[in-house]
């Protein structure tokens, strides 16, 4: 699809005023922008990412020891400062209408019907719909507490090689920070190892196998340290696609996302984007640029983090109080979700008594089964649920969890 799409004339037409400032009229923020995105926002975005990745944490929260540790890890596995400056160049960035648009366009550019995408088991369920609608197949890779199970990734790749399907494998999709739905964060070492493993299988596959890192929740951290992205790993420039968003750390209503991509993929994505919308809302991009360039973005982010941290505490406290003892979960360290595992006897799916009863009591959760890809090699678990503390007030969280707890106790 990416190869088939020609460079639409709209893209270069819209870029003309930028290349020739004398053609500019009126207030730029109220005009169309360019397909690839506002140059200042692209620069601010990649500069920020470079800072995050090279400090091993935001300046305000990383301790000196953590930063030293991060640079030691990078010294072993990461690119030289010159290489990394190139990887974080604004020229490699595209601004998108939410990161969802990037996930869609990228999948369309990279994959043909029948191709295979490796995903975490469980994964971001909205991405699974993109995969399904493009006629792609999935293989789920098990998750451990610090990201994908590398042994299972290797086993999956070997099985695909044996069955002659490796040539159809195009990428590994990781939601690497405070994962939606489980809240798990992938360690840097695992990103490095996964990237190496994909590289090893490329010869047999006969084409590149990309690592698509979806970092949607990266900045919503309220405990622990930031982890460098896969862009900081060796060989990242050619194989890592970084999908980021300003929805989560700034405003979901803005729906401004971004991608950092290897050059051939960037070109293909920008061509497809020209046919989608020939550029993300310029007004919103200007707004974000200004917020980032001033200290407003940081201030807002810090307030959001505190708010979500308080809500997470309220949710976990209510779960301890109201849920039966055999329901298990991890305390979130960032993001917007708690992933709860119920005893095997309680189903959580859309048709389950639990889901229907919760709905009647005004409580909505995401059934775990929706977050598992259709993978013929295993059955989908159906006794988990993703509970969000994002938009509800603390009082609503307490009331909702109490009602959900009462339903669970009834069913058990
Ligand atoms: C993991 C993940 N990726 C991407 C997105 C899309 O976010 P947006 O399109 O608002 O940037 C979401 C939204 O919930 C998400 O959870």
Q: Do domains 9-294 and 299-411 have the same CATH topology?
A: no
Confidence of residue 179 (pLDDT cuts 50, 70, 90): very high
Ligand 1 pocket member 100 (CB < 6 A): yes
**pTM assigned to the model:** 0.91
Q: Measured between alpha carbons, how far is 76 from 189 in angstroms, rounded to an integer?
A: 10
Q: Measured between alpha carbons, how far is 278 from 280 in angstroms, rounded to an integer?
A: 7
Domain ranges for the chain, please list them.
9-294, 299-411
Q: What is the CA radius of gyration of the chain?
A: 22
Asked whether the predicted pLDDT for residue 23 surpasses 60, the reply is: no
Q: Give the mean pLDDT of 295-306.
A: 96
Query: How far away, in angstroms, is 217 Cα from ligand 1 center?
Result: 8
Query: How far away, in angstroms, is 155 Cα from ligand 1 center?
Result: 29
Q: Measured between alpha carbons, how far is 245 from 247 in angstroms, rounded to an integer?
A: 5
Asked whether the predicted pLDDT for residue 141 surpasses 70, the reply is: yes
Q: Which is more confident, 19 or 199?
A: 199
Q: Which is more confident, 260 or 67?
A: 260
Query: How far away, in angstroms, is 136 Cα from ligand 1 center?
Result: 20
Ligand 1 pocket member 280 (CB < 6 A): no
Ligand 1 pocket member 245 (CB < 6 A): yes
CATH class of the domain at 9-294: alpha beta
- Please report the pLDDT score of residue 65 as a whole number: 29
| Alpha carbon nearest to ligand 1 atom 6, residue | 100
Q: Give the mean pLDDT of 390-402.
A: 97
pLDDT one-digit tens code per residue, 301-331: 999 999 999 999 999 999 999 999 999 999 9
Mention every residue, 6+ apart, whose C-beta is less than 8 A from residue 258.
37, 41, 42, 45, 93, 94, 95, 96, 99, 102, 243, 244, 245, 246
Looking at 12-26, 255-269, 385-399, which range is the least confident one? 12-26
pLDDT one-digit tens code per residue, 76-86: 445 555 556 79
| Alpha carbon nearest to ligand 1 atom 15, residue | 216
**Cα-based angle 47, 250, 245 (whole degrees, multiple of 5):** 60
- Please report the pLDDT score of residue 276 as a whole number: 95
Asked whether the predicted pLDDT for residue 191 surpasses 60, the reply is: yes
- Please report the pLDDT score of residue 69 as a whole number: 44
CATH of domain 299-411: 3.90.1150.10
- Please report the pLDDT score of residue 317 as a whole number: 98
- Please report the pLDDT score of residue 29 as a whole number: 83
Q: Give the mean pLDDT of 374-384.
A: 93
Q: What is the pLDDT of the chain when averaged over all its residues?
A: 90
| Alpha carbon nearest to ligand 1 atom 12, residue | 216
Asked whether the predicted pLDDT for residue 58 surpasses 50, the reply is: no
- Please report the pLDDT score of residue 55 as a whole number: 80
What size, in residues, is the chain?
412
> Which ligand 1 atom lies nearest to the CA of residue 245?
11
- In the sheet that 210-214 helps form, which strands lie side by side, from edge to edge? 93-96, 257-260, 240-245, 210-214, 169-175, 116-121, 137-144, 147-148
Closest CA to 381 of 411, 339, 353, 409: 339
Mutation probe of ligand 1 site: the residue of 105, 143, 216, 249 with most atoms within 8 A of C-beta:
216
Q: In three state form, how does the secondary structure of the chain look?
A: CCCCCCCCHHHHHHHHHHHCHHHCCCCHHHCCCCCCCCHHHHHHHHHHHHHHHHHCCCCCCCCHHHHHHHHHHHHHHCCCHHHHHHHCCHHHEEEECHHHHHHHHHHHHHCCCCCEEEEEECCCHHHHHHHHHCCCEEEEEEEECCEECHHHHHHHHHHHHHCCCHHHEEEEEEECCCCCCCCCCCCHHHHHHHHHHHHHHHHHHCCCCEEEEECCCCCCECCCCCCCCHHHCCCHHHHEEEEEECCCCCCCCCCCEEEECCHHHHHHHHHHHHHHCCCCCHHHHHHHHHHHHCCHHHHHHHHHHHHHHHHHHHHHHHHHHHCCCCCECCCCCECCEEEEECCCCCCCCCCCHHHHHHHHCCCCCEEHHHHCCCCCCCCCCCCEEEEECCCCCHHHHHHHHHHHHHHHHHHC
> Which ligand 1 atom lies nearest to the CA of residue 101?
9
Q: Give the mean pLDDT of 24-37.
A: 79
């Amino acid at each position: 699809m990416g190869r088939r799409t020609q460079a639409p004339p709209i893209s270069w037409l819209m870029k003309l005023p930028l290349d020739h400032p004398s053609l500019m009229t009126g207030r730029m923020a109220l005009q169309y922008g360019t397909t690839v995105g506002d140059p200042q926002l692209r620069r601010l975005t990649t500069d920020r990412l470079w800072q995050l990745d090279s400090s091993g944490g935001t300046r305000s929260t990383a301790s000196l020891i953590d930063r030293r540790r991060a640079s030691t890890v990078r010294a072993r596995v990461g690119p030289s400062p010159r290489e990394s400056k190139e990887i974080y160049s604004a020229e490699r960035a595209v601004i998108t209408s939410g990161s969802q648009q990037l996930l869609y366009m990228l999948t369309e550019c990279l994959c043909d019907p029948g191709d295979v995408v490796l995903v975490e088991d469980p994964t971001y369920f909205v991405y699974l719909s993109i995969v399904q609608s493009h006629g792609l197949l999935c293989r789920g890779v098990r998750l451990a507490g610090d990201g994908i199970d590398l042994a299972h990734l290797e086993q999956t790749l070997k099985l695909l090689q044996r069955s002659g399907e490796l040539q159809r494998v195009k990428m590994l999709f990781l939601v690497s920070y405070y994962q939606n739905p489980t809240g798990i964060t992938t360690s840097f070492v695992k990103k490095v190892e996964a990237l190496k493993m994909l590289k090893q299988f490329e010869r047999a596959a006969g084409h590149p196998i990309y690592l698509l890192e979806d970092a949607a929740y990266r900045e919503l951290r309220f405990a622990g340290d930031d982890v460098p992205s896969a862009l900081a790993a060796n060989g990242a420039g050619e194989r890592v696609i970084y999908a980021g968003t300003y929805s989560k750390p700034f405003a979901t209503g803005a729906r401004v996302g971004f991608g950092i991509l290897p050059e051939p993929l960037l070109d293909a994505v920008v061509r497809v984007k020209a046919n989608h919308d020939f550029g993300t809302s310029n007004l919103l991009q200007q707004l974000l640029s200004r917020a980032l360039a001033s200290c407003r973005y940081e201030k807002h982010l810090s307030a959001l983090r505190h708010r979500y941290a308080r809500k997470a505490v309220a949710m976990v406290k209510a779960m301890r109080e109201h849920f039966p003892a055999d329901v298990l979960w991890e305390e979130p360290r960032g993001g917007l979700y708690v992933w709860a595992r119920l005893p095997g006897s309680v189903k959580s799916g859309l048709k389950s008594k639990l889901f229907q009863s919760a709905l009647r009591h005004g409580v909505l959760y995401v059934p775990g089964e929706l977050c598992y890809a259709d993978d013929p090699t295993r059955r989908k678990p159906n006794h988990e649920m993703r509970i969000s503390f994002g938009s509800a007030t603390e009082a609503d969280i307490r009331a909702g969890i109490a009602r959900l707890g009462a339903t669970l106790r009834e069913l058990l």
